[in-house]
Amino acid sequence: MRAAVIVFPGSNCDRDVAVALEHAMGRAPQMIWHADTALPALDLIVIPGGFSYGDYLRSGAMAAHSPIMREVVARAKKGTPLLGICNGFQVLTEAGLLPGVLMRNAGLKFVCRDVDLIVERAAAPFTDNYRKGQVVRFAIANMDGNYFADAATLDRLEGEGRVAFRYVSNPNGSAHDIAGIVNEAGNVLGMMPHPERLADKALGGEDGKAMFNGLATALTA
């Protein structure tokens, strides 16, 4: 399995997710700088958490128009699995790969803690190692995690089973308690919680490990 992590100025979870991927895949992912314009052959692309471009203009807005994103969008449209975590989710909505937008948290505070999530979608390539309805614990750490989309979009996401994770106790005002969604084809997942931050017993939990192990299984031909 060949994976790449896209690194923007201001990314800060790129190395955490690289470690989680390496543990699952048995080899390190390639780290790709945002100014690059080409990608090698890949089975998975990850856009990590952080504060790309200092959250200037809107979270994820500048990164969504970085040189490498043209190629990332093209690969995703061809079906390459693409995972956006936290700022990565914000980048994916700004790039138009996922509907809606992540707004300022309703409580106007940066929220940094472990949260319980209900797995709403247990499907390859991201979440087939979980059971639908299972409660898992991941960490959140964001200022803009308040998912918003118009009523028609929310209905569509619900009707098509595209809500991947929902908060047990809504920490930020997200519509329909949404913590993560997939695109229509199911190959793009955006989520605010960080599976890589609880993917090892030494970190205080390993519910996130199943996602990386599942990806390694699903994407290793």
Catalytic residue, candidates 34, 86, 94, 120: 86
Pairing of strands 111-119, 163-167: antiparallel
Q: Please tell me whether residue 173 binds other proteins under the rule CB under 8 A.
A: yes
**Strand ranges inside the chain, DSSP E:** 3-7, 30-33, 44-47, 82-85, 101-103, 111-119, 135-142, 146-148, 163-167, 178-182, 188-191
Binding mask 56-85 for other proteins (x = CB under 8 A): -xx--x---x--------------------
Helices (H) and strands (E) in the chain, counts: 5, 11
Residue 120 among the catalytic residues: no
Q: Please tell me whether residue 35 binds other proteins under the rule CB under 8 A.
A: no
Are the C-beta atoms of 74 and 113 separated by less than 8 Å?
no
Select from 104, 137, 156, 176 the one that contacts other proteins (CB under 8 A): 104
Q: Please tell me whether residue 110 binds other proteins under the rule CB under 8 A.
A: no
Residue 86 among the catalytic residues: yes
Q: Please tell me whether residue 155 binds other proteins under the rule CB under 8 A.
A: no
Count the residues in the chain. Answer: 221
Residue 184 among the catalytic residues: no
Q: Which residues pair with 50 in a beta bridge?
A: 11
The half-sphere exposure of 179 on its side-chain side, counting CA atoms within 13 A, is: 27
Q: Please tell me whether residue 148 binds other proteins under the rule CB under 8 A.
A: yes
Q: Please tell me whether residue 156 binds other proteins under the rule CB under 8 A.
A: no
Chain residues in the site for other proteins (CB under 8 A) = 57-58, 61, 65, 93-94, 99-101, 103-108, 148-150, 173
Which positions are annotated as active-site residues? 86, 194, 196
